């Protein structure tokens, strides 16, 4: 977060406008003035969100020197250069968790800071040669923001080797013709999720991780240098909005930047939402934006459990239930039955699921995944989880008495599609054929309100 000598300010990356902290409606805990490693969207440009990104060492130094300069601005005369050992390093250490996002305290970080201060002369100046006192070349603190000091301007080393199970094309896709950065570029996040990420496939699932502020495990940075980071220090990063998942989708599908719109390509394949439900009554809407762009476009909408096949239409197996645009057919276990009239471009479909509380359910808390392997991919951490064998999992499925799925077309119920479905956690699921485009409304303002 950026700021001025008086307090915090945040800059919208889209429009460039600045907002005082008291005018921002979302929490700003864990931020200090003059941070540049964040992406903020103001309410005028869309849903108000702020996402902290991993900071490069240059961004860490800029934040540190700016705060030190602001705290000495009323001195006579104002101080603009500060001691590496007495001022800069202690400030970074005291604010490590806030400004060194997702960095481990390896034994070399002090040397890295000193090297950047000495070599990046376009940004930093030394008061006198050999004095070890440094300051900003541009002392106008009002210009410090994410649009000026974005991380792509800070070249550093390439991403290291990943586990063999990750697709090599994913690891090396952006490595060859441009310099890597210590952190993703300004386009590296979409509503808090990295655009370059490992996808769920080949029997493995990848869950984005964030540092757990409540972790009780303490590590000696010198002892941990070069060793794997214990997964106990991290927790799954939970999205604050229900959106289309970027990782839990077939790679052929094109998800829009708003993560509410998706376009198909060639054969049927599926995308699930970021959140699932296991009890209660839940509803989401889908607007048919374009089912006429190419001949024979089609859509199947419904609900799917997490192990449902992404490279197939929803309703293929025991784990999903769907409603098709053509002929209004409903599907489960690849068996189609006539359900309603068809739907087309311009229609708005509602999908309701009711799941009674299960007597055998012991906990509604999501899994912590702290017993899984923690891997690093494109400067972000992920828990790696091996999928259960689908065939074995399907043998454990049991019907949930009283459960039901009901579909609506333009606010009019089409009747109950299924009852007594298999118990489990269900995610909104969209499968598209050829060039169909749809837009979801999940947890927001619906076109038709169903009581």
CATH code of residue 331: 2.60.120.920
- Choose from 185-194, 232-241, 348-357 the range with maximum mean pLDDT: 348-357
Residue 448 lies in a domain: no
Pair (96, 83) in one structural domain: yes
Residue 163 lies in a domain: no
User: Which of these ranges, 17-31, 153-167, 422-436, has the smallest mean pLDDT?
Assistant: 153-167
Pair (38, 120) in one structural domain: yes
Q: Is the pLDDT of residue 288 over 80?
A: yes
Q: Token pair 């057919």 is at which residue?
A: 329
pLDDT digits (tens, 9 = 90+) for 315-327: 999 999 999 999 9
% of the chain exceeding 90 in pLDDT: 35
Q: Is the pLDDT of residue 185 over 70?
A: no
% of the chain exceeding 70 in pLDDT: 81
With a CB cutoff of 8 Å and minimum separation 6, the contacts of 376 are 160, 162, 382
* Residue 75, SS3 per DSSP: coil
Question: What does the alpha-carbon distance between residue 244 and residue 261 come to, in Å, rounded to a whole number?
Answer: 8
Helix 57-71 × helix 109-119 angle, to 10°:
80
pLDDT at residue 360, rounded to an integer: 63
pLDDT at residue 152, rounded to an integer: 43
pLDDT at residue 30, rounded to an integer: 83
Residue 146 lies in a domain: yes
Residue 350 lies in a domain: yes
Pair (381, 321) in one structural domain: no
pLDDT at residue 191, rounded to an integer: 60
Pair (391, 343) in one structural domain: no
Pair (62, 134) in one structural domain: yes
Average pLDDT over residues 378-397: 84
Question: What does the alpha-carbon distance between residue 388 and residue 170 come to, in Å, rounded to a whole number?
Answer: 24
- Choose from 222-226, 390-394, 420-424 the range with maximum mean pLDDT: 420-424
User: Which pLDDT band holds residue 179 (cuts at 50, 70, 90)?
Assistant: very low
CB 350 within 8 A of CB 285: yes
Question: What does the alpha-carbon distance between residue 39 and residue 18 come to, in Å, rounded to a whole number?
Answer: 13
pLDDT digits (tens, 9 = 90+) for 186-201: 344 446 677 777 877 7
Residue 343 lies in a domain: yes
User: Which pLDDT band holds residue 172 (cuts at 50, 70, 90)?
Assistant: very low
Question: What does the alpha-carbon distance between residue 306 and residue 217 come to, in Å, rounded to a whole number?
Answer: 31
CB 245 within 8 A of CB 251: no
More confident position, 18 or 53: 18
Looking at the structure of the chain, the number of domains it has is 3
More confident position, 193 or 377: 377
Residue 339 lies in a domain: yes
Pair (60, 199) in one structural domain: no
User: Which of these ranges, 238-242, 249-253, 430-434, has the smallest mean pLDDT?
Assistant: 238-242
End-to-end CA distance of the chain: 42
For residue 26, the domain's CATH number is 3.90.980.20
Beta partners for residue 3, in sequence order: 8
pLDDT at residue 407, rounded to an integer: 96
Pair (54, 12) in one structural domain: yes
Q: Is the pLDDT of residue 155 over 50?
A: no
Question: What does the alpha-carbon distance between residue 138 and residue 135 come to, in Å, rounded to a whole number?
Answer: 9
Pair (29, 98) in one structural domain: yes
What Cα–Cα distance (Å) separates residue 227 from each residue in 183, 223, 342? Answer: 21, 8, 57
CB 231 within 8 A of CB 370: yes
pLDDT at residue 164, rounded to an integer: 37
CA R_g for the chain: 25
Q: Is the pLDDT of residue 12 over 80?
A: yes
Pair (106, 217) in one structural domain: no
With a CB cutoff of 8 Å and minimum separation 6, the contacts of 183 are 37, 53, 54, 55, 56, 59, 151, 154, 379
CB 113 within 8 A of CB 89: yes
CA geometry: angle at 90 spanning 52 and 86, to 5°? 140
- Average pLDDT, whole number, for the chain? 81
Average pLDDT over residues 426-443: 89
Q: How many CB atoms lie within 10 A of CB 424?
A: 23
Average pLDDT over residues 379-404: 87
User: Which of these ranges, 177-191, 290-304, 331-345, 393-407, has the smallest mean pLDDT?
Assistant: 177-191
CB 100 within 8 A of CB 64: no
Q: Token pair 């998800």 is at which residue?
A: 255
Pair (339, 324) in one structural domain: yes
pLDDT digits (tens, 9 = 90+) for 108-143: 888 888 888 989 888 999 988 888 899 999 888 888
pLDDT at residue 334, rounded to an integer: 92
Q: Is the pLDDT of residue 251 over 60?
A: yes
Pair (71, 214) in one structural domain: no
pLDDT at residue 163, rounded to an integer: 38
Residue 161 lies in a domain: no
Helix then strand count (H, E) for the chain reads: 7, 30
Residues spanned by the domain of 420: 244-358+400-441
Pair (53, 139) in one structural domain: yes
* Residue 138, SS3 per DSSP: coil
CB 333 within 8 A of CB 307: no
Q: Is the pLDDT of residue 406 over 80?
A: yes
Residue 450 lies in a domain: no
């Amino acid at each position: 977060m950026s700021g001025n000598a008086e307090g915090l300010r945040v800059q919208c990356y889209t429009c460039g406008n600045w907002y005082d902290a008291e005018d921002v409606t979302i929490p700003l805990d864990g931020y200090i003035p003059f941070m540049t490693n964040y992406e903020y969207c103001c309410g005028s440009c869309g849903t108000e969100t702020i996402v902290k990104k991993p900071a490069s060492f240059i961004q860490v130094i800029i934040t540190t020197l700016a705060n030190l300069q602001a705290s000495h601005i009323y001195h006579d005369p104002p101080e603009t250069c500060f001691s590496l050992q007495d001022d800069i390093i202690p400030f970074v250490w005291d604010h490590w968790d806030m400004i060194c996002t997702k960095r481990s305290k390896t034994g070399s970080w002090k040397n890295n800071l000193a090297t950047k201060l000495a070599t990046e002369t376009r940004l930093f100046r030394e008061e006198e040669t050999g004095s070890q006192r440094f300051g900003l070349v541009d002392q106008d603190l009002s210009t410090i923001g994410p649009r000026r000091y974005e991380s792509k301007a800070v070249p550093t080393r390439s991403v290291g080797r990943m586990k063999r199970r990750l697709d090599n094309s994913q690891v090396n896709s952006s490595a060859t013709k441009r310099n890597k950065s210590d952190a993703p570029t300004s386009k590296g996040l979409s509503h808090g999720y990295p655009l370059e990420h490992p996808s769920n496939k080949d029997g493995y699932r990848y869950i984005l991780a964030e540092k757990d502020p409540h972790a009780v495990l303490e590590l000696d940075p010198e002892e941990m240098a070069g060793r794997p980071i214990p997964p106990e220090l991290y927790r799954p990063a939970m999205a604050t909005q229900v959106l289309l998942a970027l990782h839990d989708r077939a790679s052929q599908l094109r998800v829009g930047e708003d993560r509410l719109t998706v376009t198909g390509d060639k054969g049927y394949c599926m995308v699930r939402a970021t959140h699932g439900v296991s009890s209660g009554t839940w509803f989401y809407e889908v607007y048919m934006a374009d089912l006429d762009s190419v001949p024979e476009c089609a859509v199947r909408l419904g609900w799917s459990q997490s192990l449902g096949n992404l490279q197939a239409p929803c309703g293929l197996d025991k784990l999903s239930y769907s409603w098709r645009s053509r002929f209004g057919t409903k599907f489960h276990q690849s068996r189609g039955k006539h359900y309603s009239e068809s739907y087309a471009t311009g229609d708005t479909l509602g999908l309701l699921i009711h799941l009674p509380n299960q007597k055998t359910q012991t906990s509604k808390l999501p899994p912590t995944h702290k017993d899984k392997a923690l891997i690093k991919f494109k400067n972000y951490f992920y828990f790696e989880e091996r999928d259960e064998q689908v065939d074995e999992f399907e043998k454990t499925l049991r019907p949930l008495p009283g459960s039901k799925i009901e579909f609506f077309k333009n606010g009019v119920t089409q009747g109950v599609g299924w009852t007594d479905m298999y118990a489990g956690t269900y995610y909104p699921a969209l499968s598209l054929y050829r060039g169909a485009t749809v837009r979801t409304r999940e947890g927001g303002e619906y076109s038709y309100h169903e009581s």
